[in-house]
Amino acid sequence: MRRVVFGAVVCALGTAVMSPSLAASSQTALETVAERSGFRVTGRFDEVERLCAEYAKVWPDAVRCSEFGRTPEDRPMLALTVTRTGALTPADARERNVPVMLVQGGIHAGEIDGKDAGFLALREMLQGKLARGALDAFVFVFVPVFNVDGHERFGRWNRPNQNGPEEMGWRVTAQNYNLNRDYAKADAPEMQAMLRLLDAWNPVLYVDLHVTDGAQFEPDVANCLEPIYMGDPGLRDAGRALVSELNQSLAAKGIQALDFYPSFRVPDDPASGFEASVYPARFSTGYWALRNRFSLLVETHSWKDYPRRVRVTHDIIVKLSEMMAKQGRTWQNLAREADARAAALGGQDVVLDYEVGPHTTTIEFRGYAYTREPSAISGALMTRYDTSKPQTWRVPFRDTVVPKLTVRAPRGGYVVPASQAAWLAERLAIHGIRFERLDRGATAAKVEAFRASKVTLTSGTFEGHTLATLEGQWQAEKRDIPAGSLFVPIAQPNARLVMTLLEPQASDSYAAWGFFNGMFEAKEYMEPYVAEQVAQEMLARSPELAREFRERLEDPAFAKDPEARLDFFYRRHPSHDERENLYPILRVASRP
């Protein structure tokens, strides 16, 4: 029996590796490079391809290996479907009403604990050594590596803040996308493939396996779940209970687990304490919760060694499998009730963005003794930890999340004009959002239109986009709706996601990501010598306009700005573009 040391805990992984029912050659074929090395190293992606096929070969009645996408560097994206319910396809799962859990590793491919832990946990479950009978009650979809191209950018120093394995993959994709910032905008081909996989399987629980950077402290892992702070309020109690049961089971095994992301409020300053996390739709945790399902972010602690991190992730996967077997159908029923509530949101106030609230409590947090002294290198105060001296910190914790942006949902839905319909139809379909194409147009339709009074663009790019912040409001107007436009009804289970993507002031909307920046650019203009003549004529015709102009001249800034003075008249002239600063998507009370 091979014994593998996990930090201070010794786990006899070897007892779970050997299976009397398998030939020695088959058993060896099912082992990972990580296991054979004592969790010193991790394998390359060809190992994932081999194991995916080998699991399906050894357990043909319970495992299916499938490709669900290709990366920009033409590598296969692989998923293992594991179940003894017979529901080895999404259609089977829907027909048989079998709950689904989807677990992914390597969205940040240097944080690769989930790949090795997942293969080990699934093998033990299939062998009947752990979570016995669980696979009879639910479908386990396992994506060992989400960011495959990043995984193959292999190197020893790809994660300088991480304690093993010796070499690992890279954080972002070959196209330099951070996939865990891409769920809403869905730029990356890998993300588009994942969203199609999620939409097909519709898992009630989506588990995203990571390794966090950060300070040195005792806790092994943070398990952060939504909906707890955001999303459908009717799911929050079940979400809290899920995390509580998971963390209690880990504590019984000597694993310290948190239910919040342990990032200091002031970087590198333990005394600043922590705060609750807010997850917008760009993150897996926020995105899947907007679709009325549970989304769990698992963050093992980078300073724990690789064997212990794999063991912790392994134990989380096994426990979640046991919980899925017992509670999966209950969670599924709760999710369907949330779907019905979402489909009835028309005309109601909906919170689209959140922020951490002011309420603060003091918590006891298990860290280490530390000092903060000026650095001779950077000149800044630097924290140095003494890991030989455990210490309990009493630090502030801002423990509430409050609404930041609340918007009243349209009663009918949104209209995407024909000019934007082609690309938006593709994105909406990827998100599983229902819409229909309007074969006939409408003239002078009653709509709500959003006109931006101010547009602020970021000075640099983020994830390849120049972000935009829009100020303005919706107002009643009459506008023509061309044939070929899209109608996106609010009465659908994905209503919260619809609003998140289409409301211009939401932080992860297409407008915020800069997809419509061109719509807020002035394209036509009036030459100054023409504007001078036009202004004289307008003043002569309208005493009221002349009075308004005189009042504006009382503002010294306006009075000293020739361009602003001419623009005052141009914006009131029939030649001015009435669509300038008009957000192209409209709101309607009913289908046009």
Give residue limits of the domains in the chain. 4-343, 360-403, 404-522+580-588, 528-570
DSSP category for residue 462: B
- pLDDT of 555 above 80: yes
Q: CA 98 to CA 83: how far, in whole Å? A: 10
Average pLDDT over residues 334-338: 98
Report, as an integer, the average pLDDT of 491-510: 98
pLDDT confidence of residue 22: 45
pLDDT of 11 reads: 38
Which pLDDT tens digit goes with each residue over 67-81? 999 999 999 999 999
Percent of the chain whose pLDDT exceeds 70: 95
* Res 289: pLDDT: 98
For residues 545 and 334, what is the distance between their CA atoms, to the nearest angstrom? 60
CA distance 21 to 290: 44
CA 366-369-374 angle, to 5 degrees, is 130
Crossing angle of helices 528-541 and 562-570, rounded to 10°:
60
pLDDT tens for residues 159-191?
A: 999 999 999 999 999 999 999 999 999 999 999
Sheet holding 381-398, edge to edge: 274-275, 381-398, 360-374
The secondary structure element, H or E, covering residue 295 is strand 294-301
The label of the residue with tokens 């702070």 reads: 229
- Which pLDDT band holds residue 8 (cuts at 50, 70, 90)? very low
pLDDT of 515 over the 50 cut:
yes
Listed range (98-112, 263-277, 404-418, 569-583) with the worst mean pLDDT: 569-583
pLDDT at residue number 197: 98
Arithmetic mean of pLDDT, 336-346: 98
Rounded Cα–Cα distance for residues 52 and 578 (Å): 58
Interval 534-554 mean pLDDT: 93
Q: What is the structure's pLDDT at 23?
A: 43
pLDDT digits (tens, 9 = 90+) for 141-165: 999 999 999 999 999 999 999 999 9
Residue 57 burial (CB count, 10 A): 13
Check pLDDT > 60 for residue 60. yes
Confidence of residue 525 (pLDDT cuts 50, 70, 90): confident
Q: Do residues 410 and 346 touch, judged by C-beta distance below 8 A?
A: yes
**Residue with token string 């929050």:** 236
Q: What is the pTM of this model?
A: 0.92
Q: Kindly report the CATH number that applies to the domain delimited by 4-343.
A: 3.40.630.10
Q: What is the pLDDT of residues 231-248, one digit of tens each?
A: 999 999 999 999 999 999
Predicted confidence (pLDDT) per residue in 433-464, tens digit: 999 999 999 999 999 999 999 999 999 999 99
Segments of 41-99 assigned E as strands: 63-70, 76-82
Q: Which helix (H) or strand (E) holds 226?
A: strand 221-226
Tell me, letter by letter, the H, E, C secondary structure of 412-456.
CEEEECHHHHHHHHHHHHHCCCCCEECCCCEEEEEEEEEEEEEEE
Q: SS3 for 512-555, per residue?
A: CCCCCHHHHCCCCCCCHHHHHHHHHHHHHHCHHHHHHHHHHCCC
How much is the pLDDT for 26?
A: 63
Terminal Cα distance for the chain, rounded: 70
Closest by CA position to 323, among listed 241, 230, 223: 241
Mean pLDDT of 579-591: 95
pLDDT of residue 94: 97
Mean pLDDT of the chain: 94
Which CA distances in Å does 374 have to 129, 301, 381?
53, 26, 4
Cβ of 502: how many Cβ atoms within 10 Å?
Answer: 24
Least confident window among 12-21, 241-250, 409-418, 493-502: 12-21
Write the secondary structure of 384-398 as one string of H (helix), E (strand) and C (coil).
EEEEEEEEEEEEEEE
- 165: preceding bond cis by omega (within 30 degrees): yes
- Mean pLDDT for 288-292 is 98
Cα gap 270→3, rounded to integer Å: 36
